[in-house]
Structure 1
Amino acid sequence: MNRYLTPCLFLLSVTAALAQLRFTPDRPKIDGVVSFTYTPTGPLIGETDIQAVFLRYGSPAQMRLSQSETAPAVPTGSAFVGTIKIPFKEVAGLLVAFQSRNNPALIDHNNAHFYPILLHSKTGAVLPHAVGGQASVLMRTSFPYLLKVKPDWAWAVGQYEQEIARHPTTRPLYWADLVRAKLREGQQGQTRPDYRQTCLADIDAYLTSETANLTPADLRAAAELYTQLNEPQLAQKARDRISSVDHSSDAAQKARVAQIAAEPDLGKKRANFNDFVATLPRSPYRGVAVSAVAEAYFKADKLRELVEFMGAEADPETDPVLLLSFAHQLAKEGRGMPQADWLANRAIWAFGKRPVPPTNKQLAMERAGQIRAAQAVSAHALYEQNRYLPALNRYREIWTSTPPRQTDPTTNERIWLCAQKTSRADSVLPFMLTVVRANRTTASLRSSLRDWQTARLGGTRELATYQHNLALIEAADRRAVVMDKFTDEPAPPFTLMALNGRRVSLASLRGKVVVLDFWATWCEPCRASLPPKLQVRNSFRNVPSVQFLFVNTHETAAKAAVRAVAAKQIGASPVLLDPDRKMADAYGVKLLPSTILIDAQGRIRYRSAGYSDNAQATTDELQQAIEALNDGYR
């Protein structure tokens, strides 16, 4: 392939992928949420139950466990919609495929290239590793094999070359993988027969150009590549050069750790680790090496060896976040519960050993959340082993430090079962009532509580009175939860033309509660969110002090198309036109759909952005917020 064509082909492939997958925002950033709309193609045409299967990726050193995740996709017309949370750091993009839940063998992987979602910086530039990291998914993870995808090494070569061209400083991270990709490309017969000479020339070019900065990892990688190319003499020369590199330098230590991480053979990896800690026992990178070996044990499902290995390491070399991720994965998959409990407890211990500055409230909150997460995994592991009393005690540690509305309904169900199994239901009942008021229960939990209360109170009449009083408390508490989210900021004035030709201004609505819903015809999540919002609107149809306005913004379609969609889905409510986005920008709308409530005094009191597939929760929260404002909340 002509490498000069690669950027053009990349743009074409992304454009083709976007025909099936659209997402907002169009330039997503870290620590955000991506709302996607997927139109089924190929094997998924006609499927009614589809999920997104995705992998977050970054630099080669950050690929770590590289576990795939799933996100629900809700059918909306001929498409499916959903959301994916982007973590705060160590990620440059997402690769997404779509899979039938009814027939998992049916997968749309975009012709083996997956659907890319590239992350951007604050300035809107594509992040480093967003392109090269896609090839690393093929080279360094099991994601393609999980989805039965045969890697396209010619495509991977193009991705690596683009990354290095865009960000030359990443060349040391990618050069060896680029050569490996070219080698595999040649072995698959995807390129000219002289691929060996090309690979040899690339290795020599890198070693020559980076003579002053070579690391042991570079030379080990070169030796490995020479061996694969059947050049034993060149491989030995590369190994001989390793002794000339300063092993105690920061770069050399990093390189040795990278070599440990990259070694595919677990026995060799452990031997390399033992050699590393023997020669550099106080290396600041020992913890990274520990994590690399631990991950290898975990991936190989050698859980007892993992526990033995981690138990021998001192606290400074223990990464509690990694331990927690291991424990969480085991609990999620329902295997290795004794090891999951040990790992979770080890994580709790390690978190506790790491001091938090008294002035850093954000870190303190994050640490407390991490400890609660580890406690939850430990409790779940104990629960799955039928160790109900230790599980209940661990659960008690969680609920005493967690607001009821932040608890997990499934966890609350397990707590109640543990309480019943250990004859401690009376002592747990007060907590159960708080989670009932917070609407954090499952159907099974509510049924069990009703049965238990019926027997306890003496009959169904007493239970009915109890439930009526409890319902009043629940309604008040739900409104309080919504009111906690209220803001208080001036609403920018506006005057917009409506589809019916009339002008509508905020000033003309003074004294009313105004509900603004920002939407666009191309936005599938907007249209999917309309039914619950219209249900709320209809409940206020005869309330003159509440006015719904549907603001069409960020629009690409003609006015006639907007009119058709509005007539079919929105009906009689005013539809305002914001073609230049001035109103959306003035109100700080960053994501569609967005709902904003303005009180009778002309102040913004409530905001909601994005789409939730929990229609009932959307309806309840919006209803409560409007009722609170209409009742005169200040």
Structure 2
Amino acid sequence: MRKTFPIILSAVLAAGIQTAHAQKTPAADTLIKRYQGLLKGNDADHAKLETELYALLKTKEEAKWLTASNFFYQLKKVNVSDSIQAAAEKRFPKGTVVRNKAVQLIYDEKDPVKKEAMYKAWIKQFPPKNFNNEQLAYDYARNAVGSAYLEADNIPKALEYANSIQSPFWKGQGWGGTAERLMKKGHYAEAKPLLKKAVDDAWEFKTTRKDEMGAQFAAIGYPGYLSSYVACLFEEKKYDSALIYIKRAEAAENPVRPAVTEMYAKILLSKGDYDTAYAKLSGLAGRGMLNPVTKAQLQEAYGKVRGGNGFETYLDSLRGHLNTNIEAEMAKQIINVPAPAFTLKDVDGNTVSLADLKGKTVILDFWATWCGPCKASFPSMKKAMDKYKDDPNVKFLFIHTWEKEKDATANAKKYVTQNNLPFEVLMDLKDPATGENKVVSSYEVKGIPTKFVIDKNGNIRFRFTGFTAGEDAAVSEVAAMITLANKQ
């Protein structure tokens, strides 16, 4: 039921693909699998893994040093991992660590002309041929240059860089991402051919190229590219052609993403097909996925089909079915494990301990100011909090973790204050000795946003990573988990 968007998904994909380029031999794959097995083992296995990782540092291969750094990080020896990265920077002055540090300067530059000049100097200093022709890092840089030109309204240069992507599995992402930004600026004519290429490319990866490296990632954008392509047809008032393509988008996945239904309804309403629009939007409402736009669309269709009165009552009836269905679904996912204890400071310096909240149902939300999906979930969480504002036995805590800036506490407080979020924010800061964020590690969080529901006895009953796009569905899920946790 839940559409999740873990923040680390693309990073994991990138890491996996880059590793595939760097370590092509079966022996390397076997070694990685061995390390992963030891990582899952006991203390003796961890000790053995450490010994083998230190042995990698005696080699002259940077890839093996970075493998060691990665696994030390997973062993929660963050300082060792960081030390290896720093040593690699000196040991391999023309290697991956130095290259990736240098490219950050390109990302930070805002002026497109300067950015392009820095990119050209960087690619000359670190040519792909020196990195097994691994292109993904270079494609990210190309995309950054093109985006800067697009922001400056230099469309020809933006298109040049959009068409310069080299990694086969990432070409659709380059075309589609550039097209989306073009559309936001009203350049539908320029976006349309990019989207058509992205659609065709994603379709190939779904069908004839599905066994290629990165195919799953390349194919996942298919419904979204189709929906955006339809938006271009809609702007041209080619409604019949738009219907053909939006039907393909609808058939491409189950459940259908809300953006596809929104575009479908837009076409249907323009053609005066209120009955079909009403049926599709009612289905979206029944999943709890309405947003302000689709709610307005449904109200328009409802008025034409059933008359103007009783719309809110109709929505309430759909929400009732939603709550029943979600609670039944959540009941299948309940767990029962002790919640790790913690004591943290909030953004005002007050101390909060989980032990002091025994007897209450506690909802933990791990987040960070740099995490887009975390912040996207906040309107739903604010709505869920409002539902329980008069219940003293339900407590929401928002734990800021994995900070990337020095003033993390001040920035977290500033964010919730400026956005009028009534959240109690606790700071899971890095341990000065180990460099580890201890609470997020103790809860074994792999990506954020991740949320936990802890019952009155201090046991975790639910954990979920990502967020549900529809506010009604998200609130219903939180409410269902709280209800089920309290029944135990």
TM-score (norm 2): 0.52
* Residues 1:299 and 2:156 are matched in the alignment: yes
Write the letter of the residue equivalent to 2:338: A
| Residues 517 and 593 in structure 1, CA contact (< 8 A), matched pair in contact too | yes
Distance 2:353 2:292 in 1: 48
Write the letter of the residue equivalent to 1:473: H
* Residues 1:173 and 2:136 are matched in the alignment: no
Q: 2:250 is matched with which residue: 399, 407, 423?
A: 399
Q: Deviations over 1:260-286 (max 9, x none)?
A: x9xxxxxxxxxxxxxxxxxxxxxxxxx
| Residues 288 and 472 in structure 2, CA contact (< 8 A), matched pair in contact too | no
Q: How far off is 1:514 after superposition?
A: 4.1
Question: Helix, strand or coil: the match of 1:473?
Answer: helix
1:452 is matched with 301
For residues 420 and 600 of structure 1, do their structure 2 counterparts lie closer, same or farther at Cα, with a shift above 3 Å needed? same
Q: How far off is 1:626 after superposition?
A: 1.4
1:68 is matched with none
* Residues 1:89 and 2:89 are matched in the alignment: no
For residues 362 and 432 of structure 1, do their structure 2 counterparts lie closer, same or farther at Cα, with a shift above 3 Å needed? farther
Flag the structure with larger Rg: 1
* Residues 1:629 and 2:447 are matched in the alignment: no
For residues 601 and 392 of structure 1, do their structure 2 counterparts lie closer, same or farther at Cα, with a shift above 3 Å needed? farther
1:10-409 mapped onto 2 (5 Å cutoff): 33=7, 88-89=13-14, 122=70, 123-124=81-82, 125=85, 127-136=97-106, 143-145=110-112, 171=125, 173=127, 299-300=156-157, 319-337=171-189, 340-354=191-205, 365-404=216-255, 406-408=257-259
Q: 2:282 is matched with which residue: 424, 427, 433?
A: 433
Write the letter of the residue equivalent to 2:318: L
Distance 1:504 1:487 in 2: 20
Write the letter of the residue equivalent to 1:585: S
| Residues 519 and 552 in structure 1, CA contact (< 8 A), matched pair in contact too | yes
Write the letter of the residue equivalent to 1:144: D
Q: Deviations over 1:3-55 (max 9, x none)?
A: xxxxxxxxxxxxxxxxxxxxxxxxxxxx9859xxxxxxxxxxxxxxxxxxxxx
For residues 357 and 134 of structure 1, do their structure 2 counterparts lie closer, same or farther at Cα, with a shift above 3 Å needed? same
| Residues 388 and 418 in structure 1, CA contact (< 8 A), matched pair in contact too | yes
Q: 1:491 is matched with which residue: 322, 332, 338?
A: 338
Distance 1:350 1:501 in 2: 53
| Residues 534 and 570 in structure 1, CA contact (< 8 A), matched pair in contact too | no
| Residues 361 and 486 in structure 2, CA contact (< 8 A), matched pair in contact too | yes
CA RMSD of aligned residues (A): 6.4
Write the letter of the residue equivalent to 1:588: E
For residues 393 and 441 of structure 1, do their structure 2 counterparts lie closer, same or farther at Cα, with a shift above 3 Å needed? farther
Write the letter of the residue equivalent to 1:407: P
Unaligned stretches of 5+ in structure 2? 19-65, 71-80, 87-96, 143-153, 404-409, 411-416, 432-436
Q: How far off is 1:540 after superposition?
A: 2.3
Q: Deviations over 1:194-248 (max 9, x none)?
A: xxxxxxxxxxxxxxxxxxx99xxxxxxxxxxxxxxxxxxxxxxxxxxxxxxxxxx
For residues 548 and 442 of structure 1, do their structure 2 counterparts lie closer, same or farther at Cα, with a shift above 3 Å needed? closer
Higher RCO structure, 1 or 2 (CA under 8 Å, sep 6+): 2
| Residues 320 and 346 in structure 1, CA contact (< 8 A), matched pair in contact too | yes
Q: 2:323 is matched with which residue: 461, 472, 475?
A: 475
| Residues 537 and 548 in structure 1, CA contact (< 8 A), matched pair in contact too | no
Q: 2:265 is matched with which residue: 416, 427, 430?
A: 416
Q: How far off is 1:625 after superposition?
A: 2.8
Residues matched between the structures, number: 363
Q: Deviations over 1:451-501 (max 9, x none)?
A: 43234225625x5654442231243456567x3995636225648799999
For residues 129 and 380 of structure 1, do their structure 2 counterparts lie closer, same or farther at Cα, with a shift above 3 Å needed? same
Question: Helix, strand or coil: the match of 1:402?
Answer: coil
1:597 is matched with 453
2:39 is matched with none
For residues 587 and 361 of structure 1, do their structure 2 counterparts lie closer, same or farther at Cα, with a shift above 3 Å needed? farther
| Residues 199 and 222 in structure 2, CA contact (< 8 A), matched pair in contact too | yes
**Richer in helix (by share):** 2
Distance 2:476 2:286 in 1: 14
Question: Helix, strand or coil: the match of 2:99?
Answer: coil
Q: Deviations over 1:519-548 (max 9, x none)?
A: 99xx9x99x97976764553322x5xx566
2:27 is matched with none
For residues 460 and 587 of structure 1, do their structure 2 counterparts lie closer, same or farther at Cα, with a shift above 3 Å needed? same
Write the letter of the residue equivalent to 2:335: D
For residues 366 and 460 of structure 1, do their structure 2 counterparts lie closer, same or farther at Cα, with a shift above 3 Å needed? same
Distance 1:373 1:589 in 2: 29
Write the letter of the residue equivalent to 2:196: N
Q: How far off is 1:172 after superposition?
A: 5.3
Distance 2:209 2:156 in 1: 38
For residues 87 and 466 of structure 1, do their structure 2 counterparts lie closer, same or farther at Cα, with a shift above 3 Å needed? same
Distance 1:405 1:495 in 2: 40
